[in-house]
Chains A and B, each alone.
Chain A
């Protein structure tokens, strides 16, 4: 290592402050020597010293001149070395291109994914001390995880000691008018303590008081920072001003800081986050146990989400014992930190992608290492020659290292645009949840990590030939003879290729499993046909649409007008759009069904006639809703197959039977007139639950007064659905000019958003796997091509002695295949162990899926075979005479 040490010493010499003192010492000694002579010649000490300084030209000036000269020389030296390195690399375009491209792929993909993962897993949430803030959820037989009831918020406040404060909120759409164009906003209806529980106070003005959070309290609102900037020009005097929400004047009392979001704005409301907040004004005398509130709480000091969950479960048991819930419901509650709630769902995919990209970087480094080793081998002669001509070892090492740095930085320079393109891909898959957490950009620290790894590899493997040459590196050296050193390097190269193949196997298995899983998700029968369907959200303000008649009339008019539009095949209105919203259930009475085994229930959907046809829902029995199903006609319902199967021995008997909303005998019986195929609503992979459909025209009748004012207008078009967006907006504006409409979306877009994360992971992993395959093929090819060139003589002898061509060919191919096989086996074994970690991300695919594993093995063997083919073919075509003459 002495060579390396000396080299570094020389490289660093011009930049070391310590050596400046040495220069000064030397100059001082010069002055002293000169003065000594002058004194000896008879001058006084003072005069002698002054004269010595004069003839020198000053100590400081001389030191300066020395430093200047030295730095200039060092820079010049470096510049010349760089120039030479670039020239040498350009002389070998194939090697340089391969190495730089490999490095760029490795650096680019790692930088992109590391940056995305950092945004997803480590960007700060707008809540200080987020570990102490939890969300509370309920669970019972029908739901794994759902919201809480307002009554429960009060129960938890009174009974839980692990929680110091409990807040609750709902979100809804409200129309903002009077300040420019009417706008539809997502509004959070929050309890007064919500901002305290989340640890964020208003940036301007104040929060809500408990007086304002009472029923019939004054109408007040707090604006989001973005809304304040966009709608009110960032004017601080907005505090105290009145704005109009759903036709009611409301006083602005505060503005929240930039970047504030409710925890639900990262999850359920991520596509339309809340922009404005108003007091929930819950009436304590009329609270219910229907689960419609989001709840958050502040943990008491020393408590964790786990201890809080234990206490909540105990409270839930008490509530059940008190008779609030039926035993058969198995009602319970639990807490989860806001951090876990927001990032938890992203974590598995992010970790998988990070792992995948680390594998890719490993392969890229192994490949570049291999290329450098092969090149180093062929450069042994050149190095020996230069060494004989007087170039010092450190000089050769310096040249090699500079080349290594040039390669690494060229790789980084090309990797950056690749990384940006990678971010573009991630953005294109619509990871709304990611964008909410922070802007997706390349974090330079993350880029530095991958460039560092690349630089280390190139430096290490560039130094190997010369260090081996000097007999220093132990692994390469063995007994010290040059031949064994070469053999050692050959072994190192084979090891690298095997490692490459092994890592590629792991990547391919992961990618294969994800792709098969995404395929399985795609094959899921949605129960409707999303193609050519346009959707648009509307929210009718309760003031102007106070009665059910007005609401029903609006939906009827919109549907009829939309049907008349050119290019529209069908139109309708649905309360909740599948895959874009979550649907909840409502208790049912079913004529002739014995409820002793458990309550009958169903997810409640409200639709107009035409909605089924528009969405492409399939009718299995009976009939659709028709225009004749008016408010005054007999109440009718359509049920899905699951509901019919659950509550009737013979599902087809459901048609003609009767159901009733909830256990309230004042509500009328409803005639089931049809059965439709199951639709996937709450998620593509989620199990389908019992579901029933009621016409909007009869909803208030069958529920005795409930009105559904939030809904989606849907139309089926003959061409591109988005092309009809403007005309549909105009239709709504004509009927009610003050009614804002939500962003129109194609139904296919809604479906792909629901699949965004698995599709993204599947797509990226496949990309990584494809690159890994390519790099492994290059690696195998490189090693074999080198083997052939080294064994030319031996092959010549074999052929001269009468060996058949096919024997020579099979000799080379066998080498390639054995490398590949060993790599595949090692990687396969590792993948078997590790793929279990993927289980949570997979759908209808086993982590040890035999198809995937055998396909991966077959693909890799095929790639190895084709990578071996060219060198083998070359060996087989060798003329024995020429081969013997070589060297």
Chain B
């Protein structure tokens, strides 16, 4: 088993938003599971950290929530992406692309001039 990576500061929010964008309304547990699956279990995700992040996103108006019933008939709180949230996903994804691209240039083998 290869060592698991920690979740980087600030990336969890983007992961949550992106998850909701792809999957539509989802409860906290579902989001956490989906993040684990998407990362192919490479991430060391403490489920407990998802909830403060959800709360902050809701306060910023990026997601909204309502109580509903899960597939197996359990009461659960479902989160939905808002319009502002969609814009935020685009913005953050673009920013992230830029960052990784820049970083990649540093890490790639130096080309001869």
Contact = CB atoms under 8 A, between A and B. Distances in A.
Contacts of B72: 33, 36
Given A29-B74, A55-B46, A66 B29 contact: no
Contact of A66 (B55, B76, B84): B55
B10 interface: no
A34 B47 contact: yes
A66 B27 contact: no
A234 interface: no
Interface string A558-582: 0000000000000000000000000
Contact of A58 (B30, B48, B49, B74): B48
B59 A62 contact: no
Interface string B31-60: 010000000000000111101100110010
Contacts of B74: 29, 32-33, 36
Given A30-B29, A33-B70, A69 B55 contact: yes
B91 interface: no
Contacts of A32: 74
A57 interface: yes
Contacts, number: 70
A25 B61 CA distance: 22
Interface in A30-58: 30, 32-34, 36, 55-58
B47 A33 contact: no
B59 A26 contact: no
**Chain B interface, DSSP helix/strand/loop, else mixed:** helix
A25 B28 CA distance: 12
Contact of B51 (A55, A65, A73): A65
A56 B56 CA distance: 18
**Chain A interface, DSSP helix/strand/loop, else mixed:** helix
Interface string B67-98: 00010101111000000100000000000000
Interface in A838-866: none
A26 B51 CA distance: 9
A57 B59 CA distance: 23
A23 interface: yes
Give the most central of B52, B55, B59: most A CB within 10 Å. Answer: B52
A481 interface: no
A375 B111 CA distance: 61
B42 to A, nearest CB: 16
A70 B57 CA distance: 10
A628 interface: no
A390 B84 contact: yes
A74 B47 CA distance: 23
Contacts of A55: 46-47
B55 A70 contact: yes
Given A29-B74, A33-B74, A36-B74, A65 B52 contact: yes
Interface string A414-442: 00000000000000000000000000000
Contacts of B56: 69-70, 73
Interface string A447-482: 000000000000000000000000000000000000
A30 B52 contact: no
Contact of B48 (A33, A36, A57): A57
Interface of A: 22-23, 25-27, 29-30, 32-34, 36, 55-58, 61-62, 65-66, 68-70, 73-74, 77, 390, 392
Interface of B: 27-30, 32, 46-49, 51-52, 55-56, 59, 61, 70, 72, 74-77, 84
Given A26-B77, A33-B72, A62-B51, 13 more contacts: A23-B55, A25-B77, A26-B28, A29-B75, A30-B29, A34-B29, A55-B47, A56-B47, A57-B46, A57-B48, A66-B51, A69-B55, A73-B56
17 contacts: A26-B76, A27-B51, A29-B27, A29-B29, A29-B77, A30-B28, A33-B27, A33-B72, A33-B76, A58-B48, A65-B48, A65-B52, A68-B52, A69-B52, A70-B55, A70-B56, A390-B84
